[in-house]
Amino acid sequence: MLITSILAANVNGLAANDYVGFTFFIGFMAMFAASVFFFMEINRVEGKWKTSLLISGLITMIAAAHYWYMRDYWLATGTSPTQFRYIDWILTVPLMCVEFYLILKAFGAKMDLLWKMIFYSLVMLIFGYLGETVYRNNSVLWGILSTLGYVGILYEVWLGSARQLAKSSNDPVLLNAFSALAWFVLVGWAIYPIGYMAIETDGWLRGVIAIKNMDLIYNIGDAINKIGFGLVIYGLAVNSKQSASQAVAA
């Protein structure tokens, strides 16, 4: 039934005033193009940065694949499936957290930082999903538990061991890139708890922000966060190579 509806939606096409639908298409193409770019540029960076750039490409590729499905689902039903978003996030958000470990590994980052960041991200996402689906009538409690994971990530990148390692590196290129990534987590990722609070049952922002508007914000925010995150990593890799070359020449 759903496949038939999706095929029918594709035949009918995208309505001229369907701005959410526009962002599903734009998000898919932007993240697909970003994946191609990151994969093509892997050979431009030094060995230790290849993994970071590969993960950046995987993040946008995974998101592009999900947006391919979500845009068709939207055309067929006029709704955005919560499960597709969380399947995307539960893969891509931990990978973004892995990036913090990889860029700090050369400066003393241990495996416990990696697992701590992944754990926080899974707490944020799993409890968030339960609050939006299975236990929606008690979403505030699950939202608070989810927020604890988000606060854990914020603590690590703004005050915790990850921030301290970045400061102690004495590398201005790394520190600038790390600060940019930390701002993505603080400002860019803030759209997700805001969207959670807009759910229709007992969300604190229910009725303030329309669910349709949140889909628009999610789509734009996803593209900016994931592509922007990858571009910061790419810039760090390229600038680090240039700095190393200049140091050798000097």
User: Residue 35 corresponds to which amino acid?
Assistant: S
Burial of 207 (C-beta count, 10 Å sphere; 0-12/13-18/19+): exposed
Cα separation of 38 and 53, whole Å? 6
Buried/exposed code over 11-26 (b: 16+ C-beta within 10 A; e: otherwise): eeeeeeeeebbbbbbe
Give the DSSP letter of residue 110. -
Q: What is the mean pLDDT of each run of 10 residues along the chain (250 residues)?
A: 47 75 93 97 89 96 94 87 90 96 90 96 94 85 92 96 93 92 93 74 57 79 94 92 50
Residue position matching structure tokens 């669910």: 211
pTM: 0.87
Q: Looking at residue 206, what is its pLDDT? A: 59
Q: Token pair of 182, please? A: 């930390």
Q: Token pair of 168, please? A: 């102690």
Domains in the chain, CATH or no CATH each: 2-245 (1.20.1070.10)
Cα separation of 14 and 31, whole Å? 20
